[in-house]
Amino acid sequence: MTSLGHAAPSDFVNPPKLSGARPGTSVLILGSGLAGMVAAYELQKVGYKVQILEYQNRAGGRNFSLRGGDTFEELGGAVQRVGFAQGNYFNPGPWRIPYHHQAVLHYCRTLGVELEPFVQVNHNAYVHSSTAFSGAPQRYRVVDADYSGYVSELLAKSVNQHALDNEISADEREHILQSLKSCGMLDASYAYKKSDLTSMRRGYEKPPGGGLDGPSVTSTPLSRGDIFSSGLWQAISVNSLLNHQTSMFQPVGGMDQIGKAFQKQLQNVINLRCKVTAIHQDDSGVSVTYTDDAHGSATRVAKADYCICTIPLSILSQLDIQVSGSMRAAIAAVPYAPAIKVGLEFNRRFWEEDEQIYGGISFTDLPITQISYPSTKYFSNGKAVLLGAYLWEDVQAFRFAGMTPAERIEASIASGEKIHRQYRKEYSSGVAVAWSRVPWAMGCSSIWSEQRRKDHYKNLCTMDNRIVLAGEHASYIGGWQEGSVLSSINAIEQLHKRASGVG
Amino acid sequence: MTSLGHAAPSDFVNPPKLSGARPGTSVLILGSGLAGMVAAYELQKVGYKVQILEYQNRAGGRNFSLRGGDTFEELGGAVQRVGFAQGNYFNPGPWRIPYHHQAVLHYCRTLGVELEPFVQVNHNAYVHSSTAFSGAPQRYRVVDADYSGYVSELLAKSVNQHALDNEISADEREHILQSLKSCGMLDASYAYKKSDLTSMRRGYEKPPGGGLDGPSVTSTPLSRGDIFSSGLWQAISVNSLLNHQTSMFQPVGGMDQIGKAFQKQLQNVINLRCKVTAIHQDDSGVSVTYTDDAHGSATRVAKADYCICTIPLSILSQLDIQVSGSMRAAIAAVPYAPAIKVGLEFNRRFWEEDEQIYGGISFTDLPITQISYPSTKYFSNGKAVLLGAYLWEDVQAFRFAGMTPAERIEASIASGEKIHRQYRKEYSSGVAVAWSRVPWAMGCSSIWSEQRRKDHYKNLCTMDNRIVLAGEHASYIGGWQEGSVLSSINAIEQLHKRASGVG
């Protein structure tokens, strides 16, 4: 399941120690995403002679941001010209870094990429279901408080009715009751109900104030049946995952700041607009055939002692690559997520100004699945960009991929205005990226099932004579930059072992 | 209970509309904390003639920050010279702003005070009890996951054993079970146990990685009995309160940036070093006697049509103030919290570098109650300041107040090193503020019991002829800046009604 791949921390402590490299050993790296650039950066440091061939006209791969003035062309020919105001950006690919993705954070520190907190959980954002509460969005804090309150109340009832006496000791009984009272905001008789206590968590009808306007009015909990049947507790479950826990971070000014920081270190190494067509190897080295679109589309052959190939499997499976049958089978085995991301720019931060939502995510059962508010420049005036849709791999994602970009944006607005009535009035411009139509990736990231892992993962990751693969697809942290970086580190360790003759 | 006063949002939408003011009506404001400065700022805007008398040599009141080179003298004569490195600061008073404290946020926006997120909940910070888990600190995420898992497991058991059938319908039964599985990370048979699923929330033994190092090792949950008896779930309860929910904010560069921004607007209005001794009124106006320490300690009398007095009750109760017996009784009735705050500077951010804790709070049953890591300049090198102790009003707070500043710091280090072994080695300098010894406040903030509210609150807040009180003590949001600001707005509304003859 993808969600498994989505909840993976990293135990990275330090970059690899590559002692005893034979100076001048050459490595050809295919692709200048994070995996390729980490490999180039680390190998170059210890004396390897590295070159990168990059298909696009920029480095970074899926680490990129779109800004006003950028154009974006997708398979099928649709071209979007981004109309965002100066300073605004949108991250179609990676957009957040969990605190435990220590390898990515290490390179941010090393390369001087400034980071700011990314807000995932926002108690004042919404959870929304079109089939619950007559379609009215609820504040996250309300559902969170009421859900926790009713679960605590029900368990306290069971415990007090001695329904669990064969399970728990008298001692544990007391501790459980005490904890439920505290964490569930239960009153002295273990009830969850309208009170100052519950309002202190779910929010007040009229909040406490000052002077003669001081006294508050408590709020009334939603009904127990409605809370459980609403399904809105799913957001609590999603937010609890390791990959969504605080603290999370984002680069100041766009996720592409990481790619750009690497690129700065690798000016003389990256060759842009090189379209690889064949990857061959023999006992003396590797030779890679490519079309050099930067120089009249000449066909060229690059040679090196070793090759690190970071081309996404969705592309690589279509190329002529000379590796063992088992690696070939692995390359062909892994499908890619047809994720959709839509960035919407609005004339003002109505979510902040009107609704007191500063960063974080609202969740919905509508096709857009979520709205993520900008975790930057809070309280500022002027236009701002939010993530207006993030679809992963369900039928809706395929449906969105089949639309024109303008239709995807319209569909996002049509969903979003069910949550924010200001949507249509304040809309300014948008950009919609369907990853299955991105020419150089043809999918957002790899989807590993348990069976595929068993059959193919080791074959995919084990160096094949002079060729080793890297990228998020060669990791257990699919869809996250951390996977790319850690796969790259493992790949260069394998390569170095082989090249230095230590292994 | 204080904790009630601590969980109070605000319904502030806009500053008061004070139409129809009689130009030239004079208002004398006592105290230049936030309450006093808000009053001066708003009244001046609509044509009132305002003057502030301030006891200290600076404006801001309890809104202040300490920096390297500052000196701080307390009752008893101890003087601390702050030794922090350039750029580092510590907030002895207010230190965080909940998203719903809209009045404070309004003035930050209006006055251009830059804000950054304050991290309250950090899943990778610690919860610690000296009597649980042999005194070993546990990661918040572990206790959070295991607590939620065991509560869900026990309730699922009850539901499946039909113990709650007279309480819930068959329909609700299914919804409850579904939610418990999702939110409690339960397996197909509703068990909470060592698995990839539970590790995805509580953390892995060996996290997923890249390449041949990809496979993860799952972690083992703590035992159910230990989790419930540990009391560590109290941190979950504390973090769930409205006043601790995301998003929270802090001014970039120290909380005193708010006070300083107000001061800039009120240059010609604030008179520093004026020690008020008597506050009198009659039918023609108010007259306030004070010692002008800025000018040879001359005794002076200031006269005005009206007076807004924001002097803390702990001080005001000792002054000669000519108000009704009921307001006098109210002034005398409210005790102040003897809170302690200790700022510790360390040579490096070991909590980030060694333990991957970026902002947020660790909780402990030791006297220091908590350690709050800086929510700013993450990943930076050099010295950094954390909140090393925050005691409120228990016996330990009184004990700390009885110590010398150096002893308070030593006690904080002695507690803190039970959580972070690096504490003593990396310690650089510290400052310890005992609020009961702060000469101009003699306590951190007002403590209202329910009975006191009933007996005295209205009398305290109702304008008495020409004098009206303001400050956090005149609010239902005690101990928070929002209380000061909202009380001030209510006070000027009362004053304006009276002065403009509308009421």
Q: How far is A296 from chain B (nearest CA, A)?
A: 37
Cβ contacts (< 8 Å) between A484 and chain B: which residues?
A: 210
In whole angstroms, what is the distance from residue A262 CA to residue A253 CA?
16
- Could you state, in chain order, the average pLDDT of each consecutive group of 10 residues for chain A (503 residues)? 39 78 93 98 96 98 98 97 98 98 97 98 98 98 98 98 95 97 98 98 97 97 98 97 96 98 97 98 97 96 98 98 98 97 98 96 98 98 98 93 98 98 98 97 97 98 98 97 98 96 64
Instruction: Please tell me which of the candidates B229, B233, B378 has its beta carbon nearest to residue A182.
Output: B233
Nearest CA in chain A to B468: A211
Q: Are the beta carbons of B371 and B361 closer than 8 angstroms?
A: yes
Cβ contacts (< 8 Å) between A241 and chain B: which residues?
A: 200-201
Beta carbons of B246 and A491 less than 8 Å apart = no
Beta carbons of B360 and A246 less than 8 Å apart = yes
Q: How far is A374 from chain B (nearest CA, A)?
A: 12
Beta carbons of A378 and B249 less than 8 Å apart = yes
From residue B490, give the alpha-carbon distance in Å to each of B13, B16, B101, B470.
Answer: 13, 9, 16, 8
Count how many residues are written for chain A. 503
Beta carbons of B163 and A164 less than 8 Å apart = yes
Q: How far is B211 from chain A (nearest CA, A)?
A: 5
The pLDDT score that the predictor gives to residue B10 is 59
| Chain B interface test: which of A124, A179, A488 (most B C-beta within 10 Å) | A179
Instruction: Please tell me which of the candidates A9, A213, A488 has its beta carbon nearest to residue B490.
Output: A213
Is the four-CA dihedral A15, A18, A19, A23 of positive or negative sign? negative
Band the pLDDT of B3: cuts 50, 70, 90. Answer: very low
Instruction: Please tell me which of the candidates B247, B360, B474 has its beta carbon nearest to residue A359.
Output: B247
Instruction: Please tell me which of the candidates A247, A457, A461 has its beta carbon nearest to residue B119.
Output: A247
> Strand A126-128 vs strand A138-139: parallel, antiparallel, or unpaired?
antiparallel
The pLDDT score that the predictor gives to residue A6 is 36
The pLDDT score that the predictor gives to residue B162 is 96
Nearest CA in chain A to B108: A379
In whole angstroms, what is the distance from residue B472 CA to residue B479 CA?
6
Band the pLDDT of B7: cuts 50, 70, 90. Answer: very low
Q: What percent of chain B has pLDDT over 90?
A: 94
Q: How far is A25 from chain B (nearest CA, A)?
A: 22
Residue A63's Cβ-side half-sphere holds a number of Cα atoms within 13 Å equal to: 33
What pLDDT digit, counting tens, does each position of B155-201 carry? 999 999 999 999 999 999 999 999 999 999 999 999 999 999 999 99
From residue B90, give the alpha-carbon distance in Å to each of B310, B341, B363, B396, B469.
Answer: 24, 9, 19, 22, 29
Q: Are the beta carbons of B248 and B97 closer than 8 angstroms?
A: yes
The pLDDT score that the predictor gives to residue B336 is 97
Q: How far is A191 from chain B (nearest CA, A)?
A: 13
The pLDDT score that the predictor gives to residue B14 is 75
The pLDDT score that the predictor gives to residue A273 is 98
| Chain B interface test: which of A161, A212, A257, A489 (most B C-beta within 10 Å) | A212
Instruction: Please tell me which of the candidates B122, B155, B212 has its beta carbon nearest to residue A155.
Output: B155
Q: Domains in chain A and their CATH numbers? A: 14-61+257-334+449-500 (3.50.50.60), 66-124+246-252+337-437 (3.90.660.10), 139-230 (1.20.1440.240)
Beta carbons of A212 and B462 less than 8 Å apart = yes
Cβ contacts (< 8 Å) between A224 and chain B: which residues?
A: 172
Rg (CA), chain B: 26
The torsion region of residue A19 among left (phi > 0), alpha (psi -120 to 50) and beta comes to beta
Beta carbons of A172 and B360 less than 8 Å apart = no
Nearest CA in chain A to B177: A228
In whole angstroms, what is the distance from residue A423 CA to residue B32 CA?
42
From residue B22, give the alpha-carbon distance in Å to each of B105, B256, B259, B283, B463.
Answer: 29, 33, 28, 18, 19
Give the orientation angle of helix A140-160 with respect to helix B140-160, to 10 degrees.
Answer: 60
Beta carbons of B490 and A123 less than 8 Å apart = no
Q: How far is B250 from chain A (nearest CA, A)?
A: 12
Beta carbons of B157 and A179 less than 8 Å apart = no
Cβ contacts (< 8 Å) between A198 and chain B: which residues?
A: none
Q: How far is B403 from chain A (nearest CA, A)?
A: 33
Cβ contacts (< 8 Å) between A180 and chain B: which residues?
A: 151
Cβ contacts (< 8 Å) between A467 and chain B: which residues?
A: none
Beta carbons of A237 and B183 less than 8 Å apart = yes
Beta carbons of A229 and B171 less than 8 Å apart = yes
The pLDDT score that the predictor gives to residue A503 is 47
Beta carbons of A211 and B487 less than 8 Å apart = yes
∠ at Cα A446 (A449, A476), nearest 5°?
65
Instruction: Please tell me which of the candidates A124, A185, A242 has its beta carbon nearest to residue B203.
Output: A242
The pLDDT score that the predictor gives to residue A3 is 34
A144-181 in b/e form (b: 16+ CB < 10 A) is bbbbbbbbbbbbbbbbeeebbeebbeeebbebbbebbb
Nearest CA in chain B to A122: B246
Beta carbons of B172 and A208 less than 8 Å apart = no
- Indicate whether B85 pLDDT > 70: yes
Nearest CA in chain A to B235: A183
Instruction: Please tell me which of the candidates B169, B229, B490 has its beta carbon nearest to residue A175.
Output: B229
The pLDDT score that the predictor gives to residue A443 is 97
The pLDDT score that the predictor gives to residue B339 is 97
Beta carbons of A477 and B210 less than 8 Å apart = yes
What is the rounded average pLDDT of the residues B485-498?
97
Nearest CA in chain A to B483: A210
Cβ contacts (< 8 Å) between B11 and chain A: which residues?
A: 206-207, 209
Nearest CA in chain B to A241: B201
CB atoms within 10 A of CB B323: 22
Q: Are the beta carbons of A498 and A306 closer than 8 angstroms?
A: yes
Q: Are the beta carbons of B277 and B291 closer than 8 angstroms?
A: yes
Beta carbons of A211 and B242 less than 8 Å apart = no
| Chain B interface test: which of A1, A97, A99 (most B C-beta within 10 Å) | A99
The pLDDT score that the predictor gives to residue B11 is 60
What is the rounded average pLDDT of the residues B218-227?
98
The pLDDT score that the predictor gives to residue A1 is 30
Beta carbons of B145 and A240 less than 8 Å apart = yes
Q: Which amino acid is at B47?
A: G
What pLDDT digit, counting tens, does each position of B349-389 carry? 999 999 999 999 999 999 999 999 999 999 999 999 999 99
Cβ contacts (< 8 Å) between A119 and chain B: which residues?
A: 117, 246-247
Residue B136 CB partners (closer than 8 Å, separation 6+): none
